A = this chain, B = another copy of it.
Amino acid sequence: MASSSGLHAARARGGNARQLVHELLRARIVGLELPPGAPLSENELAAELGVSRTPVRESLILLAEEGLVDVYPQLGTFVSRIRERDIASAQFVREALESAALRDSVERTDERDLLELRALLAAQADAERRADPETFFRLDEEFHARLMAAGGHPEAWSFVQHAKAHLDRARRLSLPLEHQLALLIRQHTDVVDAVERRDAAGADAALRGHLRQVFADVETVRTQHPELFADEDAPPRPRRGQRKRPTAG
């Protein structure tokens, strides 16, 4: 009910039901609140969110396009398991785009951009002191987006975001590791420092090192949580998970 009224309120304020449901489900999936393999029923979601099946269905179609859910007609919709290829592809796309944008950042960045980036770094350090990975996650996203904007390519961020969703799902589990946040902030700082020095090669090296660090974290998570990943290449049968039937009998 809380979700329902909350959505209703948001709907009165802002956008349409589809966008809200889409953002909500996306956040739940990327935040692993809806883990890979979880079944998503149009009916259940519609009932839970207090809307009809239509906006839910349209949201699921968009999520399917992003690769975050798999739709099996007449069978069900499931949060997609993390696939080796998706991860590799996402990493490639992200590195290519952010690196290319950074090249332009080194030339174009002005004082104002640097101030904003520094402010984000300070906020990240604050989140690290408070041991607040959720806030850090948000600030991390904002940092990378801001960096691309500084290079004059704010629109391209949506492509990175698209790819990043797959990485983030896995990465989120590795973030709480206490040493991680400080390390990532250090790497962020290195990038900004190099940009400020107008050191293109240094900035590129720092960024790629950072992104590959993230990539490595994913591999760590993989060994710790193999159930989130797809074992084989193409599991034709999603092996419908146990529906809600809590050992009743």
Contacts and interface: CB of A to CB of B under 8 A. Distances in A.
Interface string A82-105: 000110110011011101110000
Contacts of A93: 97, 156, 159
How many copies of this protein are present in the complex? 2
Going nearest first, the 7 A-B pairs with the smallest beta carbon separation are: A96-B100, A89-B155, A96-B96, A96-B97, A92-B153, A93-B156, A89-B156
Contacts of A85: 155
A163 interface: yes
21 contacts: A58-B58, A58-B61, A61-B61, A61-B62, A62-B62, A85-B155, A86-B155, A88-B155, A89-B155, A89-B156, A92-B100, A92-B101, A92-B153, A93-B156, A96-B96, A96-B97, A96-B99, A96-B101, A97-B97, A100-B100, A159-B163
A16 interface: yes
A65 interface: yes
Interface of A: 16, 18, 58, 61-62, 65, 73, 85-86, 88-89, 92-93, 95-97, 99-101, 153, 155-156, 159, 162-163
Nearest to A62: B65
Contacts of A163: 159
A99 B92 CA distance: 12
A16 B61 contact: no
A153 B96 CA distance: 12
A235 B114 CA distance: 32
A88 B155 CA distance: 9
A163 B159 CA distance: 9
Contacts of A153: 89, 92
Nearest to A163: B159
Given A96-B101, A100-B100, 12 more contacts: A61-B61, A61-B62, A65-B65, A89-B155, A92-B101, A92-B156, A93-B97, A95-B100, A96-B96, A96-B100, A97-B97, A99-B100
